[in-house]
Structure 1
Amino acid sequence: MTKKRMDWDAGTWINLPLSSRKEGDFLKVVPEKGKDFWKKTLYGFEYEDGAALLAEWDNTAVEVSFELGSFTELYDQAGILLYHGPEQWIKTGIEINDGIPQLSVVVTDGYSDWSLAAVPEWVGEEVTLRASIMKDAVIIRARTEHHGWRTIRVARFPYETGNQAGPYTCSPTRAGFEVTFTHWGFTEPDQDLHVDPPVE
């Protein structure tokens, strides 16, 4: 399997975080309080000012890993942003809701929708998110070092060119949240919805 590990300096921030710094192979990011990605649905407001480090994304799969230990407050979140443009994007990762970590996916095409799946057993672990395009959709999966791949969403993402992907983090409700990203890379795409990708 071909894997390309991204250097943190290889990406471009579409919105700068409050701070970011490399520590060895890791990237520690502090998002600015009050910034997020969301469009209209339910709340009425529109945000596209969360911190996201992106690179060009073609027909590969993208994976982002991070440590979950610092996630404690409502809406603390991090994961992958799949970005086609200001009206078409998906953010997926872990988000604190109802006091526990949740696998979260927000799919946006002019309006946002939001799906959640509670994973309280993942507290304190290193989480990996993965997104892979197949036909006109993206398959989104997640795992930890102690829990295998879970398919959490199949969402429409029919854009053949002009896509970017990479790690994102937001902290809409509090200051001082810091996330430690441990890996960002591109690898071979999924071959089948019902076959787990390999773990390396």
Structure 2
Amino acid sequence: MGSSGITPWDEAVWLNRPPAVERDGDDLVVTTAGGSDFWRRTSYGFIRDDGHALLAGFPEGTAVEVTFESDLPDLYDQAGVMVRVDERTWVKAGVEATDGTPHLGAVVTHDTSDWSLAPVPEWAGKPVTVRASRSGGALTIRARSGDGPWRMVRLAHLSSAATATAGPFCCSPQREGLQVRFTGFTFGPADIGLHEGP
């Protein structure tokens, strides 16, 4: 079915507003701050909560889709969708530069972060859409490149009782000045089921 409805560029609120944000027609072009990231403890030992995310209300029974374009040239450059309850409970999913290749992945954080990823070299330089669907105490994350098939990324717990927000995010842990063009940000009804997809 896909997302439909409002594109809340102006209704959403920045968590850690980036140093440069420009509207270009219907697109939003974002430039990151140096060392920006979202992470909690696991393996690295540090806590980072200074990445950039543009967030709007994300109730149960809703899906959010974010489409973006970026070369992601440097290690750990990343962009996609964030779902956030608070600084200890959040999910980010999208594409990240690792080992010289774009990787599709997700970080699920319930006080500590848990990272999964898979290489998608064929997605380099192409538009990517990430979709997070919230239903039945779960968050189902899918992604695709261009008009290609949806790929399942992650199924994670998200309490039905939690008050959450969601929207586009980007960060650049190893540098400053990553530029990401967000070409879509929409909300619509949640997916019918785990295997049916949008």
The TM-score, its normalising length taken from structure 2, stands at 0.95
| Aligned counterpart, 1:67 | 69
Matched AA of 1:35? S
Deviation at 1:188, TM superposition (A): 1.4
Runs of 4+ more than 3 Å apart: none
Superposed displacement of residue 9, structure 1: 1.4
Amino acid at match of 2:110: D
* Alignment partners' CA distance in 2, 1:46 and 1:153: 23
Percent pairwise identity: 45
* Structure 2: unaligned runs, 5 residues or longer: none
Contact preservation (8 Å) 2:68, 2:180? yes
Structure 2 distance, partners of 1:24, 1:137, is: 35
Shift of 1:174: 1.4
Aligned to 2:48: 47
CA contact (8 A) 2:136 2:160 kept: no
How many residue pairs were aligned? Answer: 196
Change (3 A) 1:87 1:153: same
**C-alpha offsets along residues 132-179 of structure 1, whole Å, 9 cap, x if unaligned?**
112121100001224210011101111434110000100010122100
Aligned to 2:28: 27
Per mean C-alpha deviation after superposition, the further-off stretch among 111-120 and 141-150 is: 141-150
The amino acid across from 1:84 in the alignment is: V
Q: Determine if contact 1:5/1:183 at 8 Å carries over to the other structure.
A: no
Equivalent residues of 1:132, 1:138 under 8 A apart: yes
Please tell me whether the aligned partners of residues 84 and 159 of structure 1 are also in contact (alpha carbons under 8 angstroms). Answer: no
Aligned letter for 1:190? D
Deviation at 1:192, TM superposition (A): 1.4
| Distance in structure 2 (CA, Å) of the matches to 1:187 and 1:134 | 12
Secondary structure, counterpart of 1:9 in structure 2: coil
| 3-state secondary structure, aligned to 1:151 | strand
What's 2:128 paired with? 127
Measured in 1, the distance between the counterparts of 2:180 and 2:63 equals 22
2:173 is matched with 172
* C-alpha contact 2:75 2:174 (8 A) present in aligned 1: yes
After TM superposition, the structure 1 stretch with the greater mean CA deviation from structure 2, 157-166 or 80-89, is 157-166
Q: What residue ranges of structure 1 are gaps of 5+ in the alignment?
A: none
